[in-house]
Structure 1
């Protein structure tokens, strides 16, 4: 097991990502320490969500290396060349990473409980009774204990997103990725979802990498904020500093527009 006390939970080393001629990430270098809660802000198209998709292996970088707990994730350097890592090794590292998406991605043909226990049983090999007990505990934490046997289609958007958060936590990830988790919700449903995430941030040591346009949430939950523009980090600081006295002109423009 890697020494997570000295190695970052997430590390990008010269990572580049292109879609045709469109450069989305340009030689990106950054790291997230274990237990940190880091929020990525910036205009649409600046590369924020692409970072999360690379960490979920939904996209693949064109250049550079990504390390999770010091372990190369999708590629490694061998004999001076960047080579792909076999899928079996990737999947072992991927288990450390969970993600909550904008669109909840729940299985509509399953109950709430079934959605949460499916992956722990079939991916991690957790005994069914243990998976159910864990799922019930998580549903209590996200305020949905009474929805255990409901179909996901019977739930509001905010309730579905809270189920999605419980489902991600059921895999006991070391790293939790949050991609605009409130953007598909009606405004009155946002507060409940953010309250659940605040509680996770306050009561666990899960490393969180967050993409959001909810600036107050970013300010309250993060211990570091990175401002992205044009596939690069142009400013990073503690939330209080970046939200009260941003130094970069582009950050100032962006925050004036969204606050």
Structure 2
């Protein structure tokens, strides 16, 4: 199996990690390391995400936040440690003798179906109309019938306020509208976990509020689990159950938003919030 071409050594399964995570944890990072060459991006990361919880990752650029999301989407491979999703290892799979080995593509695809992601860039298919952008994956990945997938797509377009754009191509939409379509496309896969990676960073300032309001509505009206990377601190304060402060590939502080934003314990957290608030 191919490994990350930027890694000098293939990912390893640690000796003292059990194959199954505790059932209460929907996501668990267990001593996860990510290296690019000699550069350590994540340094023995431990944290857990509970079912239905909304967790936001904050911190300076380059601290490893987006890498966490990319590992969960299997766009990157761990260098060491294990990621668990819904009680099963994502990055690894049990071998015949019960020990963990690096996961194959079939295993990754199966676990990845529980996870959806909305990227900084909208990544819509430019040659497809809005309806097909939303239905393509449910039909071809989940095996839904075309009629069921289109019915779900119409419901989601109504949710994101774009029911009248069903036959538009992405080039005919504003940036904010394209990001709304991207959110609808992610929700169409019925993920248990939705990853949000700086979803407003590519938008013009006047479009940011509308997208954030939509995400607030999703956070407050659904039971979907959210893991969010953002520099929008007011948004993080509004939707989060827990906020994690990252620096140099490690969680240096975590807590509910009222504590972390109102009375942080760590000097680095105070410095960062002083610069961005």
TM over 0.5: yes
Residue 236 of structure 1 and its aligned partner are, at CA, apart by: 0.1
User: 1:47-90 CA deviation, whole Å, 9 max, x = no partner?
Assistant: 00000000000000100000000111121465586511222122
Q: Is the 8 A contact 1:53 1:59 kept in 2?
A: yes
Q: Any unmatched runs of 5+ in structure 1?
A: none
Q: Is the 8 A contact 1:4 1:34 kept in 2?
A: no
Counterpart pick for 2:43 among 26, 35, 42:
26
The equivalent of 1:220 in structure 2 is: 238
The equivalent of 1:144 in structure 2 is: 162
User: In 1, Cα distance between the equivalents of 2:240 and 2:125?
Assistant: 31
Q: Please tell me whether residue 205 in structure 1 is matched to residue 229 in structure 2.
A: no
The equivalent of 1:52 in structure 2 is: 69
The equivalent of 2:85 in structure 1 is: 68
Task: Give me the CA root mean square deviation.
Answer: 1.6
Q: Is the 8 A contact 1:65 1:76 kept in 2?
A: no
User: In 2, Cα distance between the equivalents of 1:4 and 1:197?
Assistant: 29
Q: Please tell me whether residue 83 in structure 1 is matched to residue 86 in structure 2.
A: no
The TM-score normalised by the length of structure 2 is: 0.90
Q: What SS is found at the alignment partner of 2:84? A: strand
User: In 1, Cα distance between the equivalents of 2:93 and 2:145?
Assistant: 34
Q: Is the 8 A contact 2:21 2:28 kept in 1?
A: no
Q: Please tell me whether residue 184 in structure 1 is matched to residue 202 in structure 2.
A: yes
Q: What SS is found at the alignment partner of 2:235? A: helix
Mean CA deviation greater in 105-114 or 81-90: 81-90
Q: Any unmatched runs of 5+ in structure 2?
A: 1-19
Counterpart pick for 2:57 among 35, 40, 64:
40
Q: Is the 8 A contact 2:115 2:194 kept in 1?
A: yes
The TM-score normalised by the length of structure 1 is: 0.96
User: In 2, Cα distance between the equivalents of 1:6 and 1:59?
Assistant: 25
Q: Please tell me whether residue 163 in structure 1 is matched to residue 181 in structure 2.
A: yes
